[in-house]
Amino acid sequence: MGGAVVAVLAAAATRHNRSLLASLLYRVARGLHDSSAAAEEDKAGAGSRRRRRRSSSSLLLGPDFPDSWDPPPRAAARAPPPRDAGADYGYTATIIDGKSIAEDIRLNIAEEVRQMKSTVGHVPGLAVVLVGDRRDSESYVRYKTKGCEEVGIKSLLAKLPGNCTEDEVMDSVSRFNEDPSVHGILVQLPLPQHMDEERILSAISLEKDVDGFHPLNVGNLALRSRKPLFLPCAAKACIELLLQSGIELMGKHVTVIGRSKVVGLPTSLLLQRHHATVSVIHAFTTNPEAITRESDIVISAAGVPNLVRGTWLKQGAVVIDVGTNPIEDPTSDYGYRLTGDVCFEEAVKVASAITPVPGGVGPVTIAMLLGNTLDSARRVYGLSD
């Protein structure tokens, strides 16, 4: 069965059927592997001792299925569970104010940028490559550009049409790599489907990879004995919010919902560096709510509105909601509003602390990006600690 067919079937199935399909396809792959081994044994002769055959690389790496969550209803308003469905609604959570935390961080960055300009006559520079006209991507880039202006960082933008070639994107990255006034480069994700995202991200100079997605940065993050040049901004923001709120990580059970390279994967790796016990939930996880109900901290980055209900949380859990899902809203100036992965109205009555959407992880993520850009410039100008 071809890889494309497998991907289509896995994406089209419901969560229950998708899990069964994944299991079936994995067994088929394993069966083909075992059959091949048996055939080789037959060739060797009946009298020979059965020898273990090493598994193929593809089998060891596991099946590559798309991590597609159940699509939310059009209005993204899943019906709330009954009031007595298992959650205790007597608790009122502390709101973790990401805007306030981000503002303090930006003020410190702005002061360091002024000092840099006074000392070396230069300021940090951040370049953004934006491909296509996705509303959410354009919105994120506006926030990043505005953040640069507020702290005195120079910003540059290469905006390309969605039907441009991969080489055109690579050319933009190459120009920014060679520009000494640019200390940070980010390619706004997601890219159009016809582009090789990994190839483009790998082309960014390691020293300018302020998003932290370069394979060497991710690899160094995974190895506790190594230190990456940059931490991915959203993962860094999650940890920053927890630390700034005085929440202990060592020894705590933390569940990360989602395993993307942008948030889920680096967040789980970073949490392990803080000696947390980490569970990762994805679209194929069986009974995910049972896992989250045992967790001290829940970090959700699935991109599914209202996925996490009050019944998913244990009393007093801390909730970090990374989801920023645009929902159609005719009353909004932009025609849509942002909502998180967590049903806030329910979770706020169960959790001990929670981030709102908007105003939680988002502003701190941008502050982390500005901080990474500043750190890159400090290294270039010999100002690092």
Judged by phi (left if over 0) then psi (alpha if -120 to 50, else beta), residue 298 lies in beta
How far is it, in rounded angstroms, from Cα 356 to Cα 361?
Answer: 8
Identify whether the C-beta of residue 177 lies closer than 8 Å to the C-beta of residue 187.
no
For residues 91, 92, 97, 98, the Cα torsion angle rounded to the nearest 10 degrees is 40
Q: Give the CA distances from residue 68 to residues 59, 128, 131, 259, 327, in Å, rounded to whole numbers and listed in that order.
A: 21, 28, 23, 11, 19
Which tokens belong to 304? 């599914």
**Partners of 158 in the β-ladder:** 129
> Which helix (DSSP H) or strand (DSSP E) does residue 218 occupy?
helix 215-222
What residues contact residue 129 under an 8 Å CB cut-off, 6+ apart?
Answer: 158, 160, 169, 172, 173, 176, 185, 186, 187, 188
How far is it, in rounded angstroms, from Cα 26 to Cα 32?
Answer: 10
What residues contact residue 100 under an 8 Å CB cut-off, 6+ apart?
Answer: none
CB atoms closer than 10 angstroms to residue 237: 30
What residues contact residue 81 under an 8 Å CB cut-off, 6+ apart?
Answer: 87, 309, 310, 311, 346
* Chain centroid, CA 112 distance in Å: 28
Active-site residue numbers? 144, 188, 211
